């Protein structure tokens, strides 16, 4: 019994030193992460919840790793203290040699990988802050979400690549042959590439769709000939809702044509027909007056960005002279302003006596072949004077 206690004393000493080192490592790591999190929160207070969640997950992972290492080492030391030799070739000298060579390289690899990932995330955060948009709150909020989506995606891709390379280097330092792993990963990647090529195409197209800011949530767009309000933009799909409530979902890789009707500003265009007898210069003056009154209306003044623009006589139609005009408005407000403009034009034209013609047709019959009803009427009219003369003679 005394011999066992004598053997345990060095083990207990090592065990105490080990626990102390692990506690110090846990304390230093958690405090360092806390400082980093506080710095990030000070730079961007809007991401406080996300940073706190990230800090909680990372500290929990570190604590779990340290506890796992502690349990293994404690069991190993105690078994050695009781004279049970686990892994006889694993001596203190061998452990120190491994720590001084491969262990040091593994620690260096993991530190470099962690530093690269953190540095890249800091660069992305600074970039996101620099490109943070200004302007109307809904538009700025949507652009901020878009920028955050892109930075998260780039950060996740970069972190995956870096940690994958670091894991392969660590396995090589542990004596694992990584050639079969690389070969298997290449075969799996090739198979996945063939099987999910449409998915990859959709994701890549969605990435550039978001990056180039071609369309935003809330815009009215026409995609492949189908129009609607953009309800969602994802990495794989874009969702439109039509005027009748129908939801249209388009994979990003299948978008051939995209027309954004509400990018930055909008125009409402009218092809207005007036009768040929009207003085078009007078009509244009009346239209300018209507446009000025509409823009002076407090209800619509904030929606209109410029005066009514009269482009001039655009066509000579069958029944009308077509005058083209347009008005510049805020995005999504062109239909509201345009309907009010049409109402005022109709009422003003009625008050001024300006005719807005409807399609009509004038029928002209030649003298050579008159219609039968006209021939009967003319014959009856020609006989009537003869009958009147005969009645006078009898009298």
Residue 312 tokens, joined: 């001039």
DSSP assignment of 12-81: HHHHHHHHHHHHHHHHHHHHHHHHHHHHHHHH-GGGHHHHHHHHHHHHHHHHHHHHHHHHHHHHHHHHHH
DSSP assignment of 351-377: HHT-------------SSS--HHHHHH
Q: Which CA distances in Å does 392 have to 382, 383, 385, 387, 389?
A: 17, 15, 11, 9, 5
Higher pLDDT, 190 or 280: 280
**CATH numbers and ranges of domains, the chain:** 205-260 (2.30.30.60), 266-352 (3.30.70.100)
Q: How confident is the model at residue 138 (pLDDT cuts 50, 70, 90)?
A: very low
Q: Which residue has the tokens 């009207």?
A: 278
Which one, of 228, 232, 301, 236, lies nearest residue 258 by Cα?
228
**What are the backbone angles phi and psi of residue 211, rounded to the nearest 5°?**
-65, -45
Which one, of 103, 209, 100, 99, lies nearest residue 150 by Cα?
209
Least confident of 26-40, 61-75, 160-174, 325-339: 61-75
For 342-365, the pLDDT digits (tens) are 999 999 999 999 998 877 666 666
For 149-173, the pLDDT digits (tens) are 677 777 777 888 888 888 888 888 7
Helix (H) or strand (E) holding 269: strand 266-274
94's CB contacts (< 8 A; 6+ apart) are none
- Per-residue pLDDT at 249: 93
Higher pLDDT, 313 or 45: 313
Mean pLDDT of 304-331: 92
Q: What pairs with residue 247 in β-bridges?
A: 241
């Amino acid at each position: 019994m005394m011999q066992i206690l004598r053997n345990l004393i060095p083990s207990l000493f090592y065990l105490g030193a080990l626990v102390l080192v692990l506690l110090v490592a846990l304390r230093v790591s958690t405090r360092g992460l806390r400082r980093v999190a506080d710095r990030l929160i000070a730079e961007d207070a809007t991401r406080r919840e996300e940073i706190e969640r990230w800090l909680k997950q990372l500290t929990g992972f570190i604590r779990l790793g340290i506890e796992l290492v502690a349990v293994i080492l404690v069991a190993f030391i105690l078994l050695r203290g009781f004279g049970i030799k686990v892994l006889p070739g694993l001596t203190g000298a061998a452990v120190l040699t491994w720590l001084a060579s491969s262990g040091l390289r593994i620690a260096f690899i993991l530190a470099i990988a962690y530093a690269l990932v953190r540095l890249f995330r800091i660069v992305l955060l600074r970039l996101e802050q620099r490109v943070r948009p200004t302007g109307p709150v809904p538009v700025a909020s949507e652009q901020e979400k878009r920028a955050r989506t892109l930075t998260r995606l780039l950060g996740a891709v970069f972190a995956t690549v870096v940690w994958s390379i670091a894991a392969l280097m660590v396995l090589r330092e542990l004596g694992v042959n990584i050639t079969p792993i690389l070969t298997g990963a290449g075969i799996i990647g090739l198979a996945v590439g063939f099987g999910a090529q449409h998915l990859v195409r959709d994701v890549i197209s969605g990435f550039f769709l978001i990056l180039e800011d071609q369309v935003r949530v809330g815009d009215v767009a026409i995609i492949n000939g189908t129009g609607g309000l953009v309800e969602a933009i994802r990495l794989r799909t874009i969702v439109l809702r039509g005027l009748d409530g129908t939801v249209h979902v388009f994979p990003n890789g299948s978008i051939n044509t995209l027309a954004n009707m509400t990018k930055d500003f909008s125009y409402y265009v009218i092809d207005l027909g007036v009768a040929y007898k009207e003085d078009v210069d007078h009509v244009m003056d009346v239209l300018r007056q209507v446009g000025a009154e509409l823009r002076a209306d407090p209800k619509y003044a904030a929606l209109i960005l410029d005066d009514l623009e009269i482009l001039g006589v655009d066509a000579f139609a069958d029944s009308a002279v077509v005058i083209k005009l347009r008005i510049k408005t805020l995005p999504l407000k062109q239909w509201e302003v345009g309907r009010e403009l049409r109402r005022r034009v109709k009422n003003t034209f009625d008050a001024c006596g300006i005719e807005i013609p409807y399609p009509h047709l004038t029928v002209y019959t030649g003298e050579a072949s008159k219609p039968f009803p006209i021939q009967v009427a003319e014959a009856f009219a020609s006989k009537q004077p003869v009958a009147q003369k005969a009645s006078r003679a009898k009298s």
